[in-house]
Amino acid sequence: MARFTLACETFAFVLLTSLLTNNLAAHRQERDRGNSNYPPLWDDVPDSLAGFVSIRNKTVVNPWNYLERMGMYKILLSVTAKYMSNFGPSNTGNVLWGLPLQHGWQFITGRLADPSNVSSCGQKFGDSLCISTRSWWSCMNYYLATIPFLGAVEAGFFEDWPFEIKILPPEEYMDKFCYTAAGCHAQNPEMMSKWTTLFQLLKKSKEFSQIKLLPEEDDIWQHLWIAHVASIEAALPKFSDRLADISAPEAEFGVSWANAVEFIAATHFPTNFNQTNTFQAFLPPRMLSAGDKAPSIPDLSKEQNRALVALDILNKGNKLTGGWCDWLLRVWRRAMCSEDGRAQGQNLLENIVVDPDRISTGIRSLLLEYIKNRNCIIINS
C-alpha cells in the first residue's frame, strides 16, 4: 500500500477495504433475508386523522404516544400511496417505509422507554405505549416523525380536513422540539423546508414507471435522503446529553448509526418495505449493555455483530483522525454520483454484513466509479 503515492482519497478506499476485510471476512454466511414484518401493533395504529381525537375544531396528535406517533407515519403512507403505486404492490414500494419500520424497531427493542428509571414511561409493566422525552432514540426520532408530518401538512396533503391539526408538546423539554410548520421554520428553516419540498415534489408528481428508475423517481429518493440527513444533523447536537443515560456501547452504536445514515443516504438507498425489513434484521434486537463487545456478543447474530463492527470502524476512524469520516464521505458521495455508483454502493453496504468476502471487489468497483465521476456534480448538501 505504501509503495505507491496514492491520492489521499484512494487511500481512504484502501484503508476501508483492509479494515473491513480484516475485521469481517471471517465467515461466508448464507444470506439471511429478513422476514417482512409490519411495525408492532400496526393494526391498532390510526390510519387517518379521523382516528385521532378532535375537540373544539382541533385534531390533537400526541407524538409521545407510540400509537399516535406511528399514526402520523401510517397517515403519511396512506396519503402518499397513490403517488407510489408503481413502486410495488400494496404500497410496499412506498419510499417512506424506512421511517415507521425504524420506529417500530426502536419500540420493540425498548429504545423509546425512559432509560433513567425516573418514570415508568415506555416500560413493559408501566405505561408501555409512552415515548420518553428522556430517551435519546425517542428525541432523535421526533425529528424524523413529527417534522416530516408537518412537511406534508404544509405541502397541503390535509387541505380537505376540516380541523386544525395540533401537535401536543411534551410535559418537559418543550423548547427542544417544534410543533407547527411555522414554528419549525423559525427553529430550523433548512431542515423544515427540505421536508416540505419532498412532499411538494410528491404532490406534483404523477405516475412513475416501475420498469426503469426514471430521473424523477430517483429524485424522490434523493429528496427523501436530503431531508432525512437534515433532521439528523439538527437533532444530534440537541440530544447529546441523553447519551449519558444509556450504556457506553449503546451510546456509541446510536451515534455511529446516525453518522452511517449519511453514507446510506448517498446511495439513495431504497427504504421501501422489503429492503428496510431486510436491513433492519442486522440491527441489534435489544439495547446494548455495558459488557457488550462486537463481534462477540453471544445472543446477537453474526450479521448483527458484523454490522456493529462496521459502524464502530466508521465512528472510531472519525474520532481518531478527526474528520476522516467527512473526508471519506466526500469520496463516497462522488462515487455515488452516478446511478451505477449508487447501485454498487447499495451492494457494498449489504455485503458488509451478509457476504464479507465480496467487500474488496465491491470497493474496487466503487473506486472505478469514483474515477469515472470526476466531473459529476454532487447535489447532496
Ligand X SMILES: *[C@@H]1O[C@H](CO)[C@@H](O)[C@H](O)[C@H]1NC(C)=O
Residues in touch with ligand X (CB under 6 A): 56-57, 87-89, 92-93, 117, 272, 274
CB of 35 vs ligand X, minimal distance in Å: 11
Task: With residue 248 as reference, give the H or E element that holds it.
Answer: helix 248-266
Q: Name the grid cell of 179.
A: 410543533
- Using Cβ positions, the residue closest to ligand X within the complex turns out to be 88
CB of 36 vs ligand X, minimal distance in Å: 6
CB of 247 vs ligand X, minimal distance in Å: 10
- The dihedral through the CA atoms of 104, 108, 114, 115 has a sign that is negative
CB of 337 vs ligand X, minimal distance in Å: 25
Q: Name the grid cell of 222.
A: 434523493
CB of 276 vs ligand X, minimal distance in Å: 11
CB of 270 vs ligand X, minimal distance in Å: 8
The span from the CA of 174 to the CA of 103, in Å, is 21
* For ligand X, the closer CB: 111 or 306: 111
Contacts with 91 (C-beta within 8 Å, 6 or more apart), sequence order:
77, 78, 81, 84, 85, 273
* For ligand X, the closer CB: 106 or 272: 272
Task: With residue 230 as reference, give the H or E element that holds it.
Answer: helix 215-235
How far is CA 111 from each of CA 29, 95, 121, 135, 139, rounded to the nearest angstrom?
28, 24, 11, 7, 11
CB of 94 vs ligand X, minimal distance in Å: 8
* For ligand X, the closer CB: 84 or 184: 84
Q: Are 359 and 313 in contact (CB under 8 A)?
A: no
Report the Cα–Cα distance between both ends of the chain, in Å, rounded. 32
The span from the CA of 187 to the CA of 175, in Å, is 10
Residue reference for cell 403512507: 77
* For ligand X, the closer CB: 92 or 197: 92
Per DSSP, the three-state class of 155 is coil
* For ligand X, the closer CB: 110 or 183: 110
Q: How far is CA 197 from the centre of its chain?
A: 18
Per DSSP, the three-state class of 160 is coil
Instruction: Calculate the dihedral angle through the C-alpha atoms of 380, 217, 192, 132, rounding to the nearest 10 degrees.
Output: -100
Q: How far is CA 20 from the centre of its chain?
A: 22
CB of 132 vs ligand X, minimal distance in Å: 13
* For ligand X, the closer CB: 187 or 247: 247
CB of 213 vs ligand X, minimal distance in Å: 13
* For ligand X, the closer CB: 29 or 274: 274
Phi, then psi, of 55 in degrees rounded to 5: -130, 140
The span from the CA of 368 to the CA of 344, in Å, is 10
* For ligand X, the closer CB: 58 or 319: 58
* For ligand X, the closer CB: 199 or 273: 273
CB of 243 vs ligand X, minimal distance in Å: 14
Ramachandran area for residue 300 (φ above 0: left; ψ -120 to 50: alpha; else beta): beta
* For ligand X, the closer CB: 27 or 31: 31
